[in-house]
Structure 1
Amino acid sequence: MTNTAVDSPLLQPFRSGALDLPNRLVMAPMTRNRAASDGVPLPLMATYYAQRASAGLIIAEAATPNAVGQTYPNITAIHGAAHVAGWRRVTGAVRDAGGRMFLQIQHGGRVGHPATSGLTPLAPSSVPLPGTIFTPGGHRPAAVPRAMTPAEIRATVADFADAARNAIAAGFAGVEVHAANGYLLHQFLGQDTNRRTDAYGGSVAGRIRFVVEVVQAVAAAIGPERVGLRVSPGGTANGMDEGDTDAIYPALVDALDSEGLAYLHVVHADPGTAVFQEIRRRWRGVLIGNPVLGDTVPDDGGRRAGERLLAAGADLVALGRPFLANPDLVDRIRLGAPLNPVRDRYLMYVGGPTGYTDYPALAETLVPAP
C-alpha cells in the first residue's frame, strides 16, 4: 500500500505560555471505565496513555474531586492519596514516552447514583437526570438529586482546588475544569437544571458564578497557566437544555478572559456557528476546538475538520475516537496512512485490554508490497 505524506498545520509545533507542544493535536478526555471501583487508576491505564504519547497534549479522562461527584462505575478520582499514587504511575509512563498530560476534573452533579457512590447526588436544583443511569447493578432510574446548600457550594469549590493540587502532585502539567456535557458545572449554567433563586441562579451572572468561582479557585491553587476550561455551548448531553446559550458563553468568556488560563476547550466546535465565532472574538487566550466527527473514525482521522477549525481561529484541535482507535494517530495523519476503526462501542466502557490497549500500531497493520 502506498501512502502520501501530508503537510498539515495540525502537525506544526505550538508554544504559548506553559504549553510547549510538538504538534497541535490534542487527545480529548474520554472516560474508559478502566479504574478500580474506588477510582484508583490501574496499571493498564499507564500502557494506554503511553501508547498515545505522540499527541501534542493528552487531556486525561475525567477524575472526580470528591466522592459524591462520581458518575459511573470504575471512573477515576483525584481526591485521595491512593488516587495520586495511581495517577503518578500513568504520568510517569507518558513522560518516559515523551508526552505531556493535563487531567480533567469532573463532578457529575445529578449524573450519579447512590448505587454507585453510596451517596445522594448533589446538583444546583432537585431536577433529576431524565431516564436511567448505569450503575454497578445495571441501568436504574435516575436518582433525584439534592439541591446544594451555599455551604456545599463553597466546599465543592474547595474540593476542586484540592483536586488540582493533587493532580500536580501526581505529575500532571495542569488540569482541565469540566464545565461541559451536562455535568455539575454545566448544570449550573442551564436554565432547566438551575432553578435557584439565590446568588447562584436566575440571571446569567448568577448561573455562571459557580463556574467562575471554581476556575478562579483552581487557578489560585496551581497557577492559571496550568488551568484549562472545557465548555459545550448548546450541548444537550445528559438531558441539558441551556435555554440562552447565546447569552451564557459571552458572559462566561468575559468573566474569565483576563485570568490568564492555559486554554479554553470548546466541545462540538463548529467554525460556521455564531457562538464559536463570538467565543473566538472574545477569548484572547489559547482556544482548543473539538470538532463533531460522529461515531466513526473518518478516513482522514479528523484532519480536514481540524484544519477548518485552525483556519477559523482555533489554536489546537482535540480529537477523541481517532486517538482511541489509533495510538499513533499523529504518524498516521502525517503519512496519510489508513486508520483503525473503532470496534464495538461496548468495549469503550468495559474493563480490560480488549478495545483499549490492543489497537495495532501502524507498523503492525501495513504489509510490505511483494
Structure 2
Amino acid sequence: MSAPSFNAPSFHPLTIRDCRRETADTVSLLFDVPPELAERYRFVQGQHLTLKTIINGEEARRSYSICSGVDEGELRVAVKRVEGGLFSNHANDALAPGMVIDVMTPMGRFTTPLDPTAARRYVAFAAGSGITPILSIIKTVLAREPHSQFLLIYGNRAVSSIIFREELEDLKNRHMGRLAIHHLLSREPEEAGLLSGRIGADLVRDLCAGQLDAASVDAAFLCGPQAMVEEVRDALAAAGTPAERIHLELFGTSADRRPPAPAKAATDGVADGPADGATIAILQDGKRREFTLAYDGDTILDAAHRHGADLPYSCKSGVCCTCRAKIREGKVSMAENYSLEPWEVEAGYVLTCQSRPLTERVVIDFDAP
C-alpha cells in the first residue's frame, strides 16, 4: 500500500461526530470529514492527527494517534487523560458531539508498506495509550495481508485501564491463529487471569527463547514511554531483529519542554557567524521570510512564530515530526531527535522545534517533501 502523496500539512475545522468513553480516563473522538477533504485526510495505519483549539484563552495543540483501520471508513483518535495535561483534560471533560475543532491533516511514519500477497510476521509492544497507533496497524494488517500473523504484547496497570480491550478481544476471535495478544499488568495480581509485570528486556528475552523468533520478524512496532521503547528496541536487536525492521514511537514527553540552548562551542563546531546572531530564511508555500536569531536564543520554530510565520508543529519535543523541514543552506544544532530516520538527517532534514543556527545564514525549506 502506498502512502498518500505529499501535501503540506494544514488545519481544517472538523465536526466531532462521536465521543466514546473507552476507559475511565480515555475518550475516543470520531470526526466528520466532508467529501471535499476526503483525500487530504486519507491516512496510513500508524499515523496521527494534530488537534488545535483555544483553552483558557490560549491556543493549545497536541498530537493523537489514529486508532481506525484504513478500511473502516472513519477517522478516530483516542485521548488519554494525563495528570495536569491541558489538552487531554479538556478533551475528556469538555469535548462533545457537534463541536468543531481544528484538525491537521494526517502525518507520521510509524508504519510500513503492506503487500496483500505477503505472509509476514509482525510483533508490537505497547504500553497504555501506546496501543492507539498499534490498533490501527493491527486492523489494517489483518484486513490487507490475509496471510500475515501478528503478536501483540500490551502493558497496563490494571484490567480497568486496558484501552480497546473488547475491540482487541473481538479482533483476536475473528482472526484465530493470526492474532495473538498477551496482556501484562503491573499493579494487579495474577488472579486477574492475565500476566503480571512490565514490558522490558527480560520479557523480550523470554519471548525470544520461546514463541518469538526475533530474526524472522518482518516488522516490530514499539510505542510507549521512552525508557520502555529503547529497552525493547535494544533487546530485539540483540536477539537478531534487523534494526531497519524496528519502528519506534514515543509518548509521555512534555509538550512544553524547551530544548536547552547550546553553548557557542557546540559539539559540531563553533558557530561560524557574527556574535549578534544568524540570518534565518524560511521557505513555506512558495514564499520567503527572513529574520535574525541569536545562536543561543529561541529555537528556529519559536523564533519563526514570533516573526509571524505559521509553521506546522505539535509536540515541540522532537517526537511527532510535524515541524520537519530541510536545510538548504547553512548548519544547525538539533537538541533532540526521536522521529527523523538516519537517512533523513543525512539528507539535511531537521526538526525545527529542536534546532538553533550554527552558521551566519540558514535557509530552511518547509515545502520540501
Higher normalized strand content (fraction of residues):
2
Q: Say which structure, 1 or 2, has more relative contact order (CA 8 Å, 6+ apart).
A: 1
Larger fraction in helix: 1
Bigger Rg, which one: 2
Q: TM-score, normalised by structure 1?
A: 0.30
Tell me the TM-score normalized by structure 2: 0.30
